[in-house]
Amino acid sequence: MKILAIGDIVGEIGLNTVERNLRALKQEFEIDFTVANGENAAGVGITSHMARRLYTAGVDVITLGNHVWGKREIAQFLEDDGYILRPANLADIAPGRGYGIFSVKNKLLGVVNLIGRCDMNFGPDNPFHCMSRIRKEIAQHTNLCVVDFHANATSEKAAMAYHMDGQVSAVWGTHTHVQTADERIFPKGLGFITDLGMTGPMNSVLGIRPEQSLRMFRGDVPVRFETADGPCLLCGAVFTIDENTGVCTGIERIRREG
Ligand SMILES: [Fe+2]
């Protein structure tokens, strides 16, 4: 089974890039299932209309992160739609769900979305204990499971990979918008990359117009951040997973201009 994971899609330019390229990319890599982080599709947050555009483009499941409530209208959509996940370790009273089990190639695949706690301005539950609980629930149905861990600290993401090695097929990081060149398979068969990177404008500071980011860091009067334009990157990774054992047998990083 080949799973494509797409890094944080930023703004209209990122959405357009997915719409233009995803079908061909899926064909090229013979992808069976696609998971994309969409929490920056509206810059901050995502709307139901944007989520539907991603489904139409070929995304199977959308994951989110710290900007989950950036567009408040998404709360109802999170309740109504089974293919968009918010971090599982948010409070139980939060709308939506943090994991799902989906049908892929006559098998069942668990997909989990978690948020980290290091340097994040949220007060979520412990993602490690949360993941252990979810793994037990998913294991009643399938041994195939992948995790988007939306987190800032490289250490927290690597620790999660060790925590889940031998229990899930893959853990990938999102949130930093910078792709890391550290994809590897852990001793018990878990595929891991610290961060998938960004699907957004190349000439930017993490997707934002450079001059606006510079203003902030220089201490000028701040302005409302806007997504940059120009050439766009699509970043992610392809995980090849043995459908019978759940072991990851290969990871290929994707970094495409277009
Ligand atoms: Fe984020």
- Whether the per-residue pLDDT at 45 is higher than 80: the answer is yes
The average pLDDT across 148-166 equals 98
- 10 Cα: distance to centroid of ligand 1 (angstroms): 10
pLDDT for res 119: 84
- Whether the per-residue pLDDT at 122 is higher than 70: the answer is no
Q: Which domain holds residue 66?
A: 2-257
Question: Using one digit for the tens of pLDDT, what is the confidence trace for 202-226?
Answer: 999 999 999 999 999 999 988 899 9
- 45 Cα: distance to centroid of ligand 1 (angstroms): 9
pLDDT band at 196 (very low <50, low <70, confident <90, very high): very high
- 39 Cα: distance to centroid of ligand 1 (angstroms): 7
CATH number for the domain that contains residue 33: 3.60.21.10
pLDDT band at 123 (very low <50, low <70, confident <90, very high): confident
**pTM (global) more than 0.95:** yes
Q: How many domains does the chain have?
A: 1
175 is catalytic: no
pLDDT for res 47: 98
pLDDT band at 139 (very low <50, low <70, confident <90, very high): very high
Of 49, 67, 150, 163, the active-site residue reads 67
pLDDT for res 120: 82
pLDDT for res 130: 98
Q: Are 112 and 98 in contact (CB under 8 A)?
A: yes
- 107 Cα: distance to centroid of ligand 1 (angstroms): 30
What is the rounded distance in angstroms from the CA atom of residue 167 to the CA atom of residue 70? Answer: 32
The average pLDDT across 65-80 equals 96
- 67 Cα: distance to centroid of ligand 1 (angstroms): 6
